[in-house]
Structure 1
Amino acid sequence: MRPLAAVTAAALAVTLTASCSAGARDEDATASGEGGTTSATASATSSSSSTASTPSTTPAPSTTSGTASTTATAAPSDPGTLTMAFAGDVHFEEYLAPLASRPDGLAELQDSLGAADLAMVNLETAITTRGTKIGKEFHFRAPASALRTVQGAGVDVVSMANNHGVDYGPVGLKDTLAAKKDSPIPIVGIGADEDEAYAPAILSAKGLEVAVFGASEVFEMTLSRYSAGPEKGGIASAAPVTRLRKAVSAASKKYDVVVVFLHWGLDYQKCPDPLSAETAQVLEEAGADVIVGGHSHRVNGAGWLGKSYVAYGLGNFVWWRSKEPDSRSGVLTLSLDVEKARGTGSDGHSVVRTAAWTPMLIGTDGIPRRPGAADTKRLTGLWEQAGACTGLEAAPS
């Protein structure tokens, strides 16, 4: 897409092992990764409206609709359909670092991620060249110019509510917040205080106002030390989910579409843990139309939960690991009914008509690309298998 005109939580020392149904298993092997962060168990109580470029259809994405399977998404120019594209984790570490100084460094993603009316990713890095590493194994950072690189991929908004947003401490956070003010695209999920961190970005497309939130419930140092508070900068926390639920509920009464991008789940797991499933249910009840996210470095399952479309794991996207299964990636494109979103045609059902997964593989240069026909078929099958352990519906109810 073209650019738009535009609580503190204590870390819980509980490790949860998520189990997958046999039908959702694939050939994944244990792999090393960024390391050591988990979700924890919780109580059961608990840019623009202009015509976008035409998406490439070779190979065609896997599409699920309420009536049948098809091989193409609705054209972004259809006035009755708003298309929204989502992809996973993006950073600029090691051999990806030179891209951060090139506005066109990710321009090749325009025909996949950028082909939708609105597009979003998780920007998993501090925006700073200063600061001191906090006490953890992996640290990600990039200069402010990286925001233009992300914009050049066709991205309209990013979330920075994740376990790497404050990797370089208070100095790095100060730089990140300064970069946010001057960013060419909106940044959600991080702020100088909780009001800013939990505030949505409001995007406009197809005559709709779309409220976008970002939040994290990955229990590690960032969440425990750098969750935003009343007079404290940091990331938006979904642990507990109370503050986020309140913000989503308020937005659902004011805006046409509400999107929540979460950093959640367990490293290297293919199925949602109970806390993620509980959070999705709470946010669906609060009025979220789209609930997506990642953290596990795996592509997880997706589907409909009541009126919400939920995707538990979008995988890595622009990333320094390029060996399967870490390299499995893709773009999720949702087609939303504009009339239902406005309320003029609402029947109490989901505004998300269809969901299409465009499988990709991350190359040795860290950039995801569409693979050949054989890998496309294989990866599409794994995407469909991943839904077996989610408890989600394959079509809107």
Structure 2
Amino acid sequence: MRPLAAVTAAALSVTLTASCSSGSPDGETAAPRGATATAATTPATGATNSSSAPSPSTGSTATATATATPTTRATSTASKPSDPSTLTMAFAGDVHFEDYLAPLASRPDGLAELRDSLGAADLSMVNLETAITTRGTKIGKEFHFRAPASALATVQGAGVDAVSMANNHGVDYGPVGLQDTLAAKKASPIPIVGIGADEDEAYAPAVLSAKGLEVAVFGASEVFEMTLARYSAGPGKGGIASASPIVRLRKAVSAASRKYDLVVVFLHWGLDYQKCPDPLSADTAQALEEAGADIIVGGHSHRVNGAGWLGRSYVAYGLGNFVWWRSREPDSRSGVLTLSVDVKAAKGTGSYGHSVVRTASWTPMLIGADGIPRRPGAADTKRLHGLWEQANACTGLEAKPS
């Protein structure tokens, strides 16, 4: 486990300060895009084929509350899996509304087609990588992302149940932008975690309810750049939840594991354009597993990284881009991670040492020229799933729950 000392200013100064750049190709040859067929995902070792998921039913609903700023989620009309013994949770990567994606932010149905993939699970979550404001002044960095508050209804329209804003673009437009973001959070149709008016709010989980389970979801960042250095939430200070040092987050996760049936941590971590986890991310995953987290997922590298089991936790190091302004490979490689949770095993808080996540499936997608991810044809599906399996090899994680 890493030391619990605070990150120093020197450490911040030597790490990456410009993220979300176009980057250099990773040397892989991209096969031509396939036809529009939607072949089922090939399962990884120890994972289930997405086509074998429980048959959908419109009778399942999910509710959500945020412990710091209560939020009522409107009932979703998306089809949800009906098996009462299994809770499905779907996760995807970075979402913003920059450039040619901007018009979608004013359309509640702008991402409705994603309800059949990301939104098909009982609960789903993404990283919302943007400030929610139309005002403010850009802070001193290369890339700046923002969207109006109406974008939250667009995300909800994709079947998303909660978002994390603990990332290096959540405060791109300074204090005024942060003020607007926090106001939008209070009025949001879905819970927002990882950002708040002070540390108590930023580190508070949202509590989602489905299949009789209470699921606490957190958001936090350990990307060492200007946002973390200047706009980390503290006592009486607004900003994002920081995972460095890990003490505050670990304490919150530990408390939640004793109170709720399932604990999820959505992290912004890792290094840009890398396909394997760095040592800091591995240490963070270990610390959160020991604290009682059941699911630890995240991104930031703009690449799909590997995933697997670490003790009681299922860990996914990089979910890649999702709704994004880069539509060429490798930036366009995307997908949805769907985890199946044993409801009976998760019920209560006594499952320490045993993973309640029974299966995992990765549904590969490619981001189109309009910035929206879609399932590719059979050939690309097989190729992209193979790349995901290759990425699993460098994680040190297990292919099956222990």
TM-score in terms of structure 2 length: 0.85
Which sections of structure 1, spanning at least 5 residues, go unmatched?
A: 1-6, 17-25, 30-56
Q: How do 1:313-392 and structure 2 match up within 5 A?
A: 313-343=318-348, 346=351, 348-392=353-397
The 1-side partners of 2:300 and 2:133 are apart by: 22
Q: How do 1:129-140 and structure 2 match up within 5 A?
A: 129-140=134-145
CA contact 2:292–2:352 (8 Å) conserved in 1: no
1:142 aligns with 2:121: no
Q: Give the 3-state SS of the residue equivalent to 2:296 in structure 1.
A: strand
1:164 aligns with 2:164: no
CA contact 2:6–2:245 (8 Å) conserved in 1: no
Q: Per-residue deviation at 1:58?
A: 3.9
Residue 278 (structure 1) aligns with:
283
CA contact 2:260–2:348 (8 Å) conserved in 1: no
CA contact 1:9–1:224 (8 Å) conserved in 2: no
CA contact 2:15–2:224 (8 Å) conserved in 1: no
Residue 41 (structure 2) aligns with:
61
Q: Give the 3-state SS of the residue equivalent to 1:253 in structure 2.
A: helix
Which sections of structure 2, spanning at least 5 residues, go unmatched?
A: 17-25, 30-36, 55-80
Q: Per-residue deviation at 1:330?
A: 0.2
* Pairing partner for 2:273 from 253, 261, 268: 268
Amino acid at match of 2:378: A
Residue 62 (structure 2) aligns with:
none
* Pairing partner for 1:72 from 51, 56, 61: 51
Percent identity between the two aligned chains:
85
Q: Give the 3-state SS of the residue equivalent to 2:271 in structure 1.
A: coil
* Cα deviation digits, residues 64-98 of structure 1 (max 9, x gap): 475x7645343221000000000000000000000
CA contact 1:63–1:72 (8 Å) conserved in 2: no
Q: Per-residue deviation at 1:14?
A: 3.8
The 2-side partners of 1:347 and 1:290 are apart by: 13
The 1-side partners of 2:131 and 2:301 are apart by: 19
* Cα deviation digits, residues 189-245 of structure 1 (max 9, x gap): 000000000000000000000000000000000000000000100000001111000
CA contact 2:97–2:324 (8 Å) conserved in 1: yes
The 1-side partners of 2:354 and 2:39 are apart by: 31
1:302 aligns with 2:281: no
CA contact 1:340–1:347 (8 Å) conserved in 2: no
Amino acid at match of 2:40: A
CA contact 1:113–1:153 (8 Å) conserved in 2: yes
The 1-side partners of 2:45 and 2:292 are apart by: 21
259-268 or 334-343: which moved more? Answer: 334-343
Q: Across the two proteins, how many residue pairs are aligned to each other?
A: 355
Q: Cα–Cα, structure 1 residues 372 and 175, in superposed 2: closer, same or farther, change >3 Å? A: same
Q: Per-residue deviation at 1:60?
A: 1.4
1:256 aligns with 2:261: yes
CA contact 1:8–1:226 (8 Å) conserved in 2: no
